[in-house]
Structure 1
Amino acid sequence: MKLKTLTVEGKTYAEVNDQGQPIYVHEDGKEVGHDAPQTVATIARLNGEAKTNRERYEKAESSLKAFEGIEDPTAAKKALQTIQNLDDKKLVDAGEVDKVKAEAIKAVEEKYAPVLAQRDELQASLHKELIGGGFARSKYIQDNIAVPVDMVQATFGQHFKIEEGKVVAYDQNGEKIYSRVRPGELANVDEALESLVGGYQHKDLILKGGKGSGGGFQGGKGGAPAGVKRSEMSVSQKADFIKEHGNDAFLKLPQ
């Protein structure tokens, strides 16, 4: 990005916005004011977090060396406790020891299976609420996208993940998407969507006022070709159909 300047009486000055921030122009032409104090504070905070995370990682790595080769510490502890309670006669029989160990592991797995299932269910619900809800409430989609929200999520949803309870967006290269207006901070859902849509090769098919592909379905306004199913249509075909027949007709198609 480049600093936006203006020349007055032969001298060149940086152009600033209403907040007195120098204006930078990104490669796509978007102008953003640079908040230097916020950037310095963000860098200092991120450096502190990086140091804390590194120390935490080194401590955890050191602690885990004692458990090398043990895949399930909980089951291992339970099995060891069970073996210690056996009398000497049973310990002579290796087959009996193996049986007890297997039963101990099975008991632990059965005990915690519902907990793991509940955890997976809660994680799925969290994923649905944070990501699905973000798409449903997106002002960028409401103001700029011409196709239904579920189509947008089906196309771009894989770029969003839940990390430490927050929505994190990744670009086509697998890199995290950062905010342009908040340097050093991760982009929110709207900013990430604007970036992803901007790099989407079929964006004209989904943007309001887009050019369209010109190869959509044929038929009268509001009609639907016989036998067409939503699940069998590509994203571009769905966009073409909506442009040709309208969103109501699209929703009436069999799933």
Structure 2
Amino acid sequence: MALAFSINEETFGSLESNVQGLYAKQDDGSYQLVVDGLPSVDGLKAKTDELLGETKKEREKRKELEAKLAEFESEKAKAQEDVMKKTGDIEALEKSYLDKLAKLEQAGVDKEKALQRQIYELTVGQTATNLANELAIKGSANVLLPHIQNRLTLETGDDGQKIRVLDLQGNISALTLDDLKQEFMVNDAFKPLIAGNNASGGGATGMHRQQRVALKRSEMSAEQKAKYIREHGHKAFLNLGA
């Protein structure tokens, strides 16, 4: 039986006691599979918060530099009016000061980009890696990883940053990570890589053949549609061919 990496309290309660022992409760009330070798979620959150704090500081520094530049422009205009004979000196000072500001601002931009990249790797990158390890057969996670990562993005809003699932056109959608997981599980292109899709025996072959036939909603009977929705969810059903 394949075990999900993260489950809610209701799902946890339905598990047998020996299986429940494989999960650890998280601060948000969910339960995560205890796997040796995976980084601590608490540690990742702390590191992400730290990087977000540094990013905020860099933005504040840039605003401060912009304010200094505006102040300098004002002082320069006044100096030009008061000391017209020293225009050459003012122009030299302006060039030196502006060059210094430009270098400081570019350094701030570069550091902010580096911080954002680290945040991306700790959030989107780690989520994609976890999902690839959960879905793929042994040795195939790295093949599946870029396809999953291309369907995830980090959205910044008033309530902070959160991972969002993109649709096939690259637009932010209402799909959840579970919806994305189901989409990969029923996609013929990825079935050779998905754990549980390589079962042997006539029954398994028949099941796979039935799944391939049922990939178009118009070719499914009412019973098949109901069964598919029960097993994979309504959103996954709508993602099938018409």
Q: TM-score, normalising length from structure 2?
A: 0.43
Question: When you count helix as a share of all residues, which structure comes out higher?
Answer: 2
